[in-house]
Amino acid sequence: MSAGSGMDFRGLVTPEDGRPRLPGSLHTNRRLSQWITFHADGRVTIRPGKVELGQGILTALAQIAADELDVSLARIGVQTAATPDSPNEGVTSGSLSVQDCGSALRHACANARAIHLQVAAQKTGVPLEALRVEDGTFFGPAGPVGSYWAQADDALLECAASPEVKAKPPSARRIAGTSAPRLDLPDKVFGAARFVHDLRLPGMLHARVVRPPARGARLVELREGGPPLPGGARVVRDGSFLAVVAAAEHDAEAAAARLAARVRWEEADTLPDERALADWLREAPHEDSVVIERAADDVALAGQTVRTCFFRPPVAHASVGTCCAVARWSGGTLEVWTHSQGVYNLRTDLAKVLRIAPERILVRHVEGAGCYGHNGADDVALDAALVARAVPDQPVRVLWSRAEELGWSPFSSAMLVEVEATADAAGNLVSWRCEIISNGHSSRPGRMQDPTLLSGAYVEGGVPVPPSINPPIAGGGGAQRNAIPLYRIPNLRIGLRRLTVMPLRTSALRGLGAPVNVWAIESTMDELAAHAGADPVEFRLRHLDDPRAAEVLRAAAEMAGWAGRARREGVGMGVGFARYKNASAWCAVVAEIAAEATVRATRLWIAADVGEAINPDGVANQLEGGAIHGVSMALKEAVRFDRRRVTSDSWETYPILRFSEVPVVQTRLIQRPDQPPLGAGECALAPSVAAIAGAIRDALGVRVRAMPFTPETIAAAMDAA
């Protein structure tokens, strides 16, 4: 789907194409046989186009299918996404899997159930309305009359889904809405070879890439001679892309280190001064746009005005497991095993870099380490493909180092958010102006005219990765995500300045612009509440017209004992609220912090409304994980760099939250089984950041304006106060 020249945001915005609307991703993947297969031995296979990234999505989708087909959950098998057989559902991102894939699968299963029951009615003469399904067997008034398994004929589902078929009403669901054990966890708990890192194919070789010492450096000399490389390792070069490949992994590792000493690069200063990054953001080339603007002429704009500016440096994905891929060229065809979030998107950019037809590339998803957005999974897939092309018919495995993972994956952009808000004498919001300055938040493969894969810029004839873009606001936005306050404000203007230069590659990371925008909104609300002499929760409720928003806010405050909280030395409490993307799940967080040598988050109370919760335990896991990620981002994380390279390429220089630092987390779901399901993976992160900032203000009397909230940034805020 085009949202501008060369931009494909499939899965975020569904185009109007004149066809009757079908739910979610089913609209663009209408053939039922793409989604479901019944087997004669009593099994059902579903084929979602969304992938498992550790979020438990395949379990929730299996629950939806089992419920709609009236079969036990144990009968459902889930086939992982692969081109070209799986539905093309774009990218698994944006907390959209249940919302888009779940609604598609539910409707597809309702269609399949209706077709099979019609066939049973025609064969037996039993009226359709007299048939019922029990664990896949069809019963009439006199007993069993057939089953899915007896009619396991793929041809029955070689048809388009009908929009007229209705899924079960919420009251008839028995599996969706109950907590089910994760299908993927047993293998992980007991150490089965489930991850792409574990994949071993006959004759497999191992490769390592020799990265340049600076951003944008070009390889100008590779000195010949010297001792042979360990294990008979072979050098693979294409332009400035340089790698080694060997039969043994340790030999490839050693050969890469030895080869790096024989290379001369042409390098230059390409990165801004980290110490003046905020100034660079203001001065860098950019394009301006208006996210929203509205005015109410009959509202007086005089009153208490708060002017604030919030800064976040770039942050990294920092997955504990590094990126990995396996590739094999054979007979003019490329096969790739990858933990990419979008197998079709990756195929598109692989085809561009390798200059072959997409149909000659088969991309299979295999699970990897936890993924929080567009990390290096797609990049390492190209690395493996480039090396595999040099050694046809032999599979090649590439595993990134920790330095590559932290230094070369795309980052979430540095951001500046400037807010000017006014409340009248009664404490009512009357005006809100905001300017967001940021790189774009999407350079995912498959969305732009030029490829965006890391090594694609280094091969002979390669082009630089284009500056990242922002998804349209209808698809949740990027830098502007959650920038529009949900509060009642008659005069509102949100401006966006997207930088058109990108010295550090940026792309999607959990929440995109939401963590900074929500932090800015909620901190400003706290300041306006203080000027009005109002309680922060009460002040928010006064400006909320959305009853579901108010309910989660009240629930989080009640859980935390907000109204009766007592002052304690060095301890603070803060609150944060948002509706993710202003269109998805509602979430409110109350945080408690202890201000010691560093700030420590001690407790989080989370209330959320995700509509229909397919797997409540899975939803709670996602809320907890998102919130803990928010704690880490708020208190610790910042990409560090000099004028040529990223320097925070180890755990010592890029610290993340440790297990010993994880706060106690309590969650409450507001169940709404009659409402559409909404994603839970990202909704708790931004409110957690905002709540921690508020808790610091409560404990120390200072409002932090820069992330992360380290002793240094808190001291700077105190000096500036």
- Average pLDDT in the 490-516 region? 97
Name the pLDDT band for 8 (thresholds 50, 70, 90): low
What is the DSSP track for 215-236? TT-EEEEE---SSPPGGG-EEE
Please check the confidence at residue 580 and state whether its pLDDT lies above 90. Answer: yes
148 burial type by CB count under 10 A (0-12 exposed, 13-18 middle, 19+ buried) = buried
Name the pLDDT band for 4 (thresholds 50, 70, 90): very low
- Average pLDDT in the 439-457 region? 96
**Rounded Cα–Cα distance for residues 139 and 145 (Å):** 6
- pLDDT at 10 (0 to 100): 52
Phi-psi region of 210 (alpha: psi -120 to 50; beta: other; left: phi over 0): beta
Q: How far is CA 654 from the centre of its chain?
A: 20
- Average pLDDT in the 304-326 region? 96
Q: How far is CA 645 from the centre of its chain?
A: 26
Judge if pTM exceeds 0.85: yes
Residue 410, preceding peptide bond in cis (omega within 30° of 0): no
Q: Return the exposure string of 425-445: e unless at least 16 CB atoms fall within 10 Å of the residue's CB, then b.
A: eebbbbbbbbbbbbbbbbbbb
Residue 290 φ then ψ, to 5°: -110, 125
Please check the confidence at residue 562 and state whether its pLDDT lies above 90. Answer: yes
Q: Which two tokens stand for residue 33?
A: 């046989």
Please check the confidence at residue 568 and state whether its pLDDT lies above 90. Answer: yes
**Rounded Cα–Cα distance for residues 607 and 620 (Å):** 10
**Rounded Cα–Cα distance for residues 182 and 185 (Å):** 6
Please check the confidence at residue 624 and state whether its pLDDT lies above 60. Answer: yes
State the DSSP code for 15.
P
Domains of the chain: 24-185 (3.30.365.10), 197-267+323-400 (3.30.365.10), 415-441+477-720 (3.30.365.10)
Q: How far is CA 107 from the centre of its chain?
A: 25
**Count of Cβ atoms closer than 10 Å to residue 353 Cβ:** 23
Q: How far is CA 433 from the centre of its chain?
A: 28
Name the pLDDT band for 526 (thresholds 50, 70, 90): very high
313 burial type by CB count under 10 A (0-12 exposed, 13-18 middle, 19+ buried) = buried
**CB 478, CB 440: distance < 8 Å:** yes
- pLDDT at 369 (0 to 100): 86
Computed over every residue of the chain, the mean pLDDT equals: 95
**Count of Cβ atoms closer than 10 Å to residue 222 Cβ:** 13
Q: What are the tens digits of pLDDT across the range 253-273?
A: 999 999 999 999 999 999 999
Please check the confidence at residue 384 and state whether its pLDDT lies above 90. Answer: yes
What is the DSSP track for 522-590? HHHHHHHHHHHT--HHHHHHHT---HHHHHHHHHHHHHHT-TT---BTTEEEEEEEEEGGGTS-EEEEE
- pLDDT at 312 (0 to 100): 98
In the block, tokens 């940034």 appear at 713
In the block, tokens 């380290």 appear at 710
Q: Return the exposure string of 507-523: e unless at least 16 CB atoms fall within 10 Å of the residue's CB, then b.
A: bbbbbbbbbbbbbbbbb
Percent of the chain with pLDDT over 90: 92
Length of the chain counted residue by residue: 721
Spell out the SS3 assignment of 419-459.
EEEEECCCCCEEEEEEEEEECCCECCCCCCCCCCCHHHHCC
Please check the confidence at residue 299 and state whether its pLDDT lies above 80. Answer: no
Please check the confidence at residue 5 and state whether its pLDDT lies above 60. Answer: no
State the DSSP code for 662.
P
**Rounded Cα–Cα distance for residues 210 and 257 (Å):** 8
- Average pLDDT in the 212-221 region? 96
Of 469, 486, 493, 466, nearest in space to 544 by CA = 486
Please check the confidence at residue 94 and state whether its pLDDT lies above 90. Answer: no
Q: How far is CA 693 from the centre of its chain?
A: 23
Residue 121 φ then ψ, to 5°: -65, -40
**Rounded Cα–Cα distance for residues 410 and 400 (Å):** 14
Q: Which two tokens stand for residue 44?
A: 């059902």
Q: What are the tens digits of pLDDT across the range 654-699?
A: 999 999 999 999 999 999 999 999 999 999 999 999 999 999 999 9
Query: Going along 247-360, which residue ranges are E strands?
Result: 263-266, 286-294, 304-312, 324-330, 333-338
Q: What is the largest CA-CA distance in the chain?
A: 85
Residue 497 φ then ψ, to 5°: -115, 105
**Rounded Cα–Cα distance for residues 568 and 165 (Å):** 59
Please check the confidence at residue 6 and state whether its pLDDT lies above 50. Answer: no
Of 54, 46, 130, 56, nearest in space to 89 by CA = 46
Name the pLDDT band for 9 (thresholds 50, 70, 90): low
3-state secondary structure of 269: coil
**CB 633, CB 572: distance < 8 Å:** no
Percent of the chain with pLDDT over 70: 97
Alpha carbon distance, N-terminus to C-terminus of the chain: 48
Question: Is the CA virtual torsion 372, 462, 236, 270 positive or negative?
Answer: negative
Phi-psi region of 313 (alpha: psi -120 to 50; beta: other; left: phi over 0): beta
- Per DSSP bridges, beta strands 333-338 and 361-365 are parallel
Q: List, in order, residues 6 or more apart from 584 with CB less than 8 Å away.
A: 95, 99, 476, 678, 679, 683
Please check the confidence at residue 3 and state whether its pLDDT lies above 60. Answer: no
State the DSSP code for 131.
-
